[in-house]
Amino acid sequence: MDSTSVIIIGAGMSGISAAKTLSDAGVKDILILEATNRIGGRIRNTYFADLSVETGANWIEGVHGEEQNPIWEMAQQLGLRTFRSDYTVEAAIDESEKIHSLGEKYSKTLPPSGRNDISISTFQRLENKIPSTPLEMIVDYYSYDYEFAEPPRVTSLQNTVPLPTFDDFGDNVYFVADERGYKSLVYNLATMFLKTNSQGVIVDPRLQLGKVVTEIQYSGDGATVSTDDTSSYRADFVLVSVSIGVLQSDLIKFNPVLPKWKILALYEFDMAVYTKIFLKFPFKFWPDGDDREFFLYASKRRGYYPVWQHFEKQYPGANILMVTVTDEESRRIEQQDESTTKTEAMEVLRSMFGKDIPQATDILVPRWWSNKFFRGSFSNWPLGVNRHEFDSIKAPIKRLYFTGEHTSEHYNGYVHGAYLAEMEYKEDDHDHGCFYEDQQFWITQMPPIILGKEGAPPTSNIFMDSPGCKADGPHGAPEATSKLLQRRSKKGEGCEGGSITSKEDRDVKVIVAAASKREKGMTREQQHQPQLPRLHACFLSEFQAQTAPMGRHTNDPTVLNSSIALLQERFKQLQRVREMREGRQLQESAFRSQSCDREPPRWLFPGAAPGHHHRRHGEEHVEVQPLDASTSAGSLPRGSIAAQSSVVSNEADVDTSLHL
């Protein structure tokens, strides 16, 4: 069996970026396993009508701002052919922009914990600005669905409005139209550390294409990765950079099974579908010009072939139109044959431009959702996922690490998010010094039910008295929380604002309060119920694991009653931890030596890269209350997955179009 230091699964932007980071830090003993026959992941171009078109990522979003977008910087260095997309809109969309601006202001007033988050459509209702006419609906679609690939009713307001991408890097968006393809950025990045031949082709054995990973066996000592060609590889660490859609599927088997808190977090995030359909025509029949790059089709059926774009600026004389569909329309279209799709698209075009337009001679329909190696286009932050749950998505488990655009706190869904994702690990490592998963050595003699064993939920055991170190991922406080707790410990303050009289007292208060910074899986209504117990995260997660597998609700009274009893017992155990600690002093030197002996090598993600500073959201304090017998089953939190199905009207389409 081949053995290496680090195995990286996936050769998309995030996987290649992480591999380069390791190589730059002196870690050459790496192996990249890619399921397809190419690198780039969801950045892919193909030839259609003798032109190179991007079927995946197409734009560099966020340019010419105060900070330099690293993807734009790489594109400039490589001389990538790009064109600024003109999203200038007519007066019909002015009202939508006003609502969007109000949404930005409202979003900034919400507490960082995410407990008071609402959907974009809920905010529209609050402002009495719900779109109702076909014209209003297409403007709404163009403002939100076209950006997030999901409707406003499932998209988080707080985590998407305003978008950090445009706040940080600028409002300009550039369309990539280069024969080498957008993927040339990924390829160029790979050639910086992988061997190539005289023709520039990568021939480095550390990159293995066509390797479909089927199983990952992991432990505290390392991991074994198996592929569908019966090959096996052993590594000290494994970094999984596949999409969250693949993680939600059964393509890769994890042994042991991922903890319940991890599975729940993965299934709560959305993998959106964004489909660009290309049509070739014998001649041009649409108006062009800098102010006519986009056309909107207004229909009573939301998302029905809504956004059209011509390529006269990028490819003069190509006579190609691209129409973008998302979400349920993408899934529907992927499941039908291309001739049916062409017929539907032509009906829409004839309603916009008249019956005399020519028939399309060719069509290209990408299928990202159907592809088992991707299962969608990019992640979207849905309503109901707070910062704690997001941290659980990217949290490591033993020697198993996760990266990808879906792990980028501020730039998920974007290429620069994939590129910068591993740097967030680097920042955490730089700021806190240690990464841990199995934290049994942190607090000696603590009951196993509270420890970071298999199935233990996020933040189940946090002890912040070791300067510079924290429990990583699900078993550690978020960065802002960690710093807050460390400051309070130094000042002798309790997490609840009271004075600390003994070190043992402080230990338990830190554990309980830090673990309760965010309530896992609560809906907005549940978070505001006065009778709702604000429990230690492990109680909530265990309840969800039994009553809400994969985030679905159960009304089974037997399950509910047993879960309530379990929660009560677990709270009693936490109280016994505090009693057990009375009169006993921890030895700081022994504690530090134990904890840092288990630290993975610092090179796994070296210190934060200069020039890429990322903000982190702060945390608010949440008081911890015990669960008493008066608590009703109805007041307990339950997991939820934001609904993805669109309401499709059977009414006839309205022959209305907007020219942008």
Domain boundaries, the chain: 84-174+271-373+651-659, 435-628
Q: 48: helix, coil or strand?
A: strand
The pLDDT tens digits of the residues spanning 75-111 come to: 999 999 999 987 655 545 555 566 556 666 666 666 6
Q: Cα–Cα–Cα angle for 239, 243, 246, nearest 5°? A: 100
Q: What is the pLDDT of residue 464?
A: 27
Q: Give the pair of three-digit tokens for residue 259.
A: 């903890």
Task: Say if residue 219 carries a ligand binding annotation.
Answer: no
CB neighbours of 549 closer than 8 A, spacing ≥ 6? none
Q: How far apart are CA 660 and CA 651, in angstroms?
A: 26
Burial status of residue 29 (CB atoms within 10 A of its CB: 0-12, 13-18, 19 or more): middle
DSSP assigned state of 609:
P
| Parallel, antiparallel or unpaired: strands 59-63 and 172-176 | antiparallel
Burial status of residue 490 (CB atoms within 10 A of its CB: 0-12, 13-18, 19 or more): exposed
The pLDDT tens digits of the residues spanning 120-178 come to: 888 788 877 888 889 888 988 998 899 999 998 888 888 777 788 998 999 999 999 99
Q: What is the pLDDT of residue 516?
A: 33
End-to-end CA distance of the chain: 58
In 10 A of CB 22, how many CB atoms? 23
Q: How far apart are CA 378 and CA 42, in angstroms?
A: 8
In the chain, which residues have pLDDT < 50? 91, 428-554, 577-578, 580-657, 659-660
Q: How far apart are CA 306 and CA 656, in angstroms?
A: 11
Task: Say if residue 127 carries a ligand binding annotation.
Answer: no
Buried b (16+ CB within 10 A) or exposed e, 238-255: bbbbbbbbbbbbebbebe
Q: What is the pLDDT of residue 89?
A: 52
Q: How far apart are CA 217 and CA 255, in angstroms?
A: 5
Task: Say if residue 273 carries a ligand binding annotation.
Answer: no
What are the residue numbers of the active site? Answer: 61
Task: Say if residue 6 carries a ligand binding annotation.
Answer: no
CATH of domain 84-174+271-373+651-659: 3.90.660.10
The pTM assigned to this predicted structure is 0.67
